[in-house]
Amino acid sequence: MSITYNEKNRSFKLTANNTCYMLQVVSYGYLAHVYFGKSLPDDDLTYLLRLDENPFTPETNDRDRASFMDTLPMEYPVFGLGDYREHAISIMDKNGASTCDLRYKSHKIYNGKPKLEGLPATFTNSDDEAQTLEVVMEDKPAGLEVTLVYTAFERLDVITRSVRVKNVGADNVKLTRIYSTCVEFNDDKMDMITLNGSWARERAMERCRLHHGKQLVDSMRGESSHQSNPFTALCSHNADEDSGEVYGFNFVYSGNFVSEAEVTQHKKTRYLMGINSCDFEWLLEPDECFTAPEVVMVYSDSGLGKMSRTFHDLYRNNLIRGEYKDKRRPILINNWEATYFDFNAEKLYQIAEQASKLGIEMLVMDDGWFGHRNADNSSLGDWFVNENKIEGGLKALVDRVNSLGMKFGIWFEPEMISPDSELYRAHPDWAIQVKGRELTLCREQYVLDYSRKDVRDYVYGMMKKILDSANIEYIKWDMNRQLTEVASNALPRERQRELWHRYVLGVYDLMDRLTTDYPHILLENCSGGGARFDPGMLYFSPQIWCSDDTDAVERLKIQYGTSMCYPCSAMGAHVSDCPNHTVGRSTPFTTRGHVAMVGTFGYELDVTKISQQDRDAIPAQIEEFNKYNTLVRTGDHYRIGNMFEDNMWDAWMFVAKDKSEALFEFVQVIGRPNERSRTIKLKGLDPDAYYFEEATPDKKLSGAALMQCGINIGGLWGDYQSKILHFVKA
Ligand code: DGJ
């Protein structure tokens, strides 16, 4: 049993592989957090709560209950009762008061994992994969039941949490904050790792020491965002890739979030994650429920690398779905950087024709095929083919591309509306807007009100017509602006602040319909590059476009950060032309291939225009990708170099689960004069086995030697050079 209840001390113990998580019902029915970390044989660690220390002693010192409230490690802290640390829930009751008081009511433990109503979440493939604990807390005066839901995975160091709230009273209650997790650490000596950035430089890893007070990353942009990712790791100061304690948190949500750590007066750390409560409210009428999205919590006793591999395993097996979950993805060529808006059917066909000869398997027609869109200033919402560009119609083009033996994919931006569109002229009220205020443009577009079913139905109807009109096997779902003037023409005054969340639920609803109705279509999410690279999106699409920056060197950083919690198999990565469109850098074609090979792999260039030398390199590059793709998709990923610490080089590995083979990739970012060869220690191999590098089958070395002594990398001439080595068990 991975979850047990000890009746004597009213404590719960959740065991997830080698991780243990404990909570306990204490005086007055409050729920305390006891422990989260490496597995322990004990099931009574109550002394950690310090319930006997004055002046915080409950019962014997009830005259100072506020001190008790302010020091007890709370499992799900409320606002208004004397716990002055950051809270997880606050409400507005029928009288307008914010105080909430949650006491234990009941609990149940069962096999498997429940679905979350309307929300993406991790799942079990069979009931014996995990156990779930539901602890029901109640606030009697407010008439609320708050169910804390925990799932412990049997073979992974993963515990997930979510929260369900039900109005069981007779009066309306508003939720003004409803976070999904709170964990208390008996420690303030921790670092906080976050993934931050901007357009074209997403998910750069940043590491800071925690200090007294509150520190957070968040998004109020209506999406998880380029600027911050809903991921945080808290770790010991000495934690590195391979050692030290690490706690990873990742929010299965694609909208506004907060990820916050607070070091409190007694040098402890409280960590919380959930929907951002800024401009958030949710009205619960009697009998109504609200579900807060899931947080995935991973514990590692062996550094960041193990944390990442746990996330990767979980997401590959228990989050990503659909036909392409465990499949090699088709090698695609996308026309965005090749043509931008300047294309027609003939141009696309020429690209496809040339690409098919080189072994590329799918043509993706990007932005600009619909309405009268020839720049980014019109037609979003008019999802019908522009026959001036796609002469003869979509079916004719798709058939021609198919006749080359290639698949066909298409771009949509379903959440958007251009002021210059037939849709906007017919339904200006469908844009998210504040009545009487000017709408703020971003990329010359507005955002559709996805809280409205009529809006979603209409857009979906348009998309369906396109999808049913030709043999379309891939969709790139883009989202190129963030939200402003967030109000809906369809919601009553008291529900306006629900729009941020209702918008995200609407997006999920449409993605759910799309993936249900078209299970064979490969869906790739995208948001102005990688602004929605989050687990919520991964649930619907097995791959997400990492960034609009396709430069191989910039990608080293972006993909490094992304790999903190997201599997490489999900990273949309393409070989593009040089000088690179975003940074103007020229890197060797081989290096671009090696870096894109870490992800889904494809091309983003005009294959009819690149040099003959680059064109000639494509078939061998594809062969290399095919050779290693299973290893990349299913193996364990090890980060070896760190672009953040040393811009000179980067390296990483993929090791087969049975340790029978390993792929080592190295990039020399900057060449140096008079350097000896660089010794690099490999990781993840079987120390007792012998391995040879494929090119030198006679030279065998033990896994122990390869890991303890390393290999020498030398002979690379110039900047941005790369090398791959394939080690096979002898
Ligand atoms: C942003 C995406 O990241 C690009 O790849 C491209 O699809 C453009 N949008 C098209 O507008």
Residue 448's nearest CA partner among 438, 462, 458 is: 458
Exposure class string for 567-602: b at 16+ Cβ within 10 A, else e: bbbbbbbbbbbbebbbeeeebbbbbbbbbbbbbbbb
Residue 535's nearest CA partner among 199, 249, 112 is: 249
pLDDT band at 540 (very low <50, low <70, confident <90, very high): very high
- Residue-wise pLDDT for 170-229, tens only, equals 999 999 999 999 999 999 999 999 999 999 999 999 999 999 999 999 999 999 999 999
Q: Is 526 in the pocket of ligand 1 (CB under 6 A)?
A: yes
Residue 336 has pLDDT above 90, yes or no: yes
| Mean pLDDT computed over every residue of the chain | 97
**Which of 367, 379, 482 is the pocket-test mutation for ligand 1 (most atoms within 8 Å of CB)?**
367
pLDDT band at 256 (very low <50, low <70, confident <90, very high): very high
Query: Are the beta carbons of 362 and 408 closer than 8 angstroms?
Result: yes
pLDDT band at 472 (very low <50, low <70, confident <90, very high): very high
Please give the span between the terminal C-alpha atoms of the chain, in angstroms, as a whole number. 40
Q: What is the mean pLDDT of residues 343-353?
A: 98
Question: How much is the pLDDT for 189?
Answer: 95
Ligand 1 centroid to Cα of residue 476, in Å, is: 9
Atom 10 in ligand 1: which residue has the minimum CA distance?
A: 367
The rounded distance, in Å, linking the Cα atoms of 242 and 683 is 9
- Residue-wise pLDDT for 43-73, tens only, equals 889 899 998 887 777 777 788 888 899 999 9
Ligand 1 centroid to Cα of residue 406, in Å, is: 22
Options 478, 534, 614, 650, the catalytic residue? 478
* Closest-lying ligand 1 atom to the alpha carbon of residue 527: 3
Options 313, 548, 551, 650, the catalytic residue? 548
Structure tokens at 235: 């770790």
pLDDT band at 1 (very low <50, low <70, confident <90, very high): low
Mark whether 548 is an active-site residue.
yes
Query: Are the beta carbons of 293 and 258 closer than 8 angstroms?
Result: no
- pTM here? 0.98
Question: How much is the pLDDT for 54?
Answer: 78
Amino acid at 138: E
Ligand 1 centroid to Cα of residue 340, in Å, is: 9
Name the region of 659 (left: φ>0; alpha: ψ -120 to 50; beta: rest): left
Query: Are the beta carbons of 309 and 637 closer than 8 angstroms?
Result: yes
Which residues are 24's β-sheet partners?
Answer: 11, 32
Residue partners of 17: CB distance under 8 A and separation at least 6:
39, 153, 154, 155, 156, 157, 158
Residue 258's nearest CA partner among 292, 305, 208, 212 is: 292
Mark whether 698 is an active-site residue.
no
Q: What is the mean pLDDT of residues 483-498?
A: 98
Atom 11 in ligand 1: which residue has the minimum CA distance?
A: 367
Q: Is 202 in the pocket of ligand 1 (CB under 6 A)?
A: no
Question: How much is the pLDDT for 82?
Answer: 94
- Residue-wise pLDDT for 65-115, tens only, equals 888 999 999 999 999 999 999 999 999 999 999 999 999 999 999 999 999
Question: How much is the pLDDT for 58?
Answer: 76
Residue 292, CA distances (Å) to 118, 137, 178, 257, 319 in order: 10, 15, 7, 11, 17
Question: Which residue blocks in 137-176 are alpha helix, DSSP H?
Answer: none
Structure tokens at 442: 């971003």
Q: What is the mean pLDDT of residues 252-269?
A: 97
Residue 526's nearest CA partner among 416, 376, 413, 444 is: 413
Kindly report the backbone phi and psi dihedral angles of residue 327, in degrees, each rounded to the nearest multiple of 5, phi listed first: -115, 150
* Closest-lying ligand 1 atom to the alpha carbon of residue 366: 7
The rounded distance, in Å, linking the Cα atoms of 19 and 522 is 35
Q: Is 549 in the pocket of ligand 1 (CB under 6 A)?
A: no
Ligand 1 centroid to Cα of residue 73, in Å, is: 46
**Which of 225, 336, 376, 418 is the pocket-test mutation for ligand 1 (most atoms within 8 Å of CB)?**
336
Residue 240 has pLDDT above 70, yes or no: yes
Residue 563's nearest CA partner among 310, 274, 321, 301 is: 310
To the nearest whole percent, how much of the chain has pLDDT over 90?
Answer: 95
Q: Is 478 in the pocket of ligand 1 (CB under 6 A)?
A: yes
Q: What is the mean pLDDT of residues 124-145?
A: 97
Ligand 1 centroid to Cα of residue 445, in Å, is: 14
Ligand 1 centroid to Cα of residue 201, in Å, is: 15
Q: Is 415 in the pocket of ligand 1 (CB under 6 A)?
A: no
**Which of 223, 366, 380, 477 is the pocket-test mutation for ligand 1 (most atoms within 8 Å of CB)?**
366
Residue 114, judged by CB atoms within 10 A of its CB (0-12, 13-18, 19+), counts as middle
Place of tokens 């156990």: 131
Residue 61's nearest CA partner among 105, 95, 27, 98 is: 27
- Residue-wise pLDDT for 145-157, tens only, equals 999 999 999 999 9
Q: What is the mean pLDDT of residues 495-502?
A: 98
Atom 9 in ligand 1: which residue has the minimum CA distance?
A: 528
Atom 1 in ligand 1: which residue has the minimum CA distance?
A: 528
